[in-house]
Each structure stands twice: as C-alpha cells, then as structure tokens.
Amino acid sequence: MSSKGPLSGIKVIEFEGLAPTVFTGMILSDFGADVTIINRSKNPNPISIDVNHTYLNRGKRSLAADLEDPFHVSVVKQLMSKADVVIDCFRPGKLEKLGLGPKNIDNQRLVFARLTGYG
C-alpha cells in the first residue's frame, strides 16, 4: 500500500503467524513494500479487508482465506504468482502440504522467507 521507500514496487505475501513473521512484514512495509497478510479463516467470505489495527500491521492489507478450501488456495496461489516475497510462518513442509510450496508456484523469482521461530 505504501508507494515510497527503497522497497517500493516489491509485493510481499505474509502468512498470519507469530511475532517473527509479523515483525518482518512490518519492517518491509515501513520500507515501502506492498504487504498482504493472509489471515487463516473458516469465514465463508474469503475476501476481507479487516486488518487487526495493531502497530505491527500498519501499512498492510489483509485477505482472509481458509487454506483447506481448494478455491481459497487457488486465490492465494494466484497472489503468490505475482509476488516477490513470501513470509512463511508455518512448520517446515506445511506450505508444501497445502500446495503452496516453491514447486507449486509458477514464479521463478519468488523468494520464500521461512521464519518459524521454533528452529
């Protein structure tokens, strides 16, 4: 959403998670990256613009998605195909099980930043 800064034009997908991913997304947003949070939700409406208004989510937009729903996974996959960075908060292998790992996305320049916080 930000248009100024050294990371202007960089698109980041941040999966909702604990402090390491949220903080990383905040820093990237502060430097001008366009950060979209994927909020895990069982809400029947997959599109949500409701961002939790904490200081860690400043400058970010939000999308609610049930990652067990094939339609929602396809929407997230489409976003990832146009992104530059994915911030992964899941346990190792979880994105792959969801069909959202590096081999499942048609985007050769996509950088996966894996920040579990638990080793």
Q: Which pLDDT tens digit goes with each residue over 24-67?
A: 999 999 999 999 999 887 655 544 444 455 778 888 998 989 99
Domain that holds residue 99: 11-114
Q: How many domains does the chain contain in total?
A: 1
Q: What is the CATH number of the domain that holds 26?
A: 3.40.50.10540
- The residues pairing with 63 across neighbouring beta strands, listed in sequence order, are 38
pTM, 2 dp: 0.85
Kindly state the tokens that stand for 85. 């960075």
Give the pLDDT confidence of 84-119 residue by residue, as tens digits.
Answer: 999 998 888 999 999 999 999 999 999 999 987 665
41: nearest Cα among 63, 17, 71, 70: 63
| SS3 of residue 40 by DSSP | strand
Residue 107 included in any domain: yes
**Rounded Cα–Cα distance for residues 106 and 2 (Å):** 26
Asked whether residue 78 is domain-assigned, the answer is: yes
Q: In this structure, what token pair is assigned to residue 96?
A: 């792959």
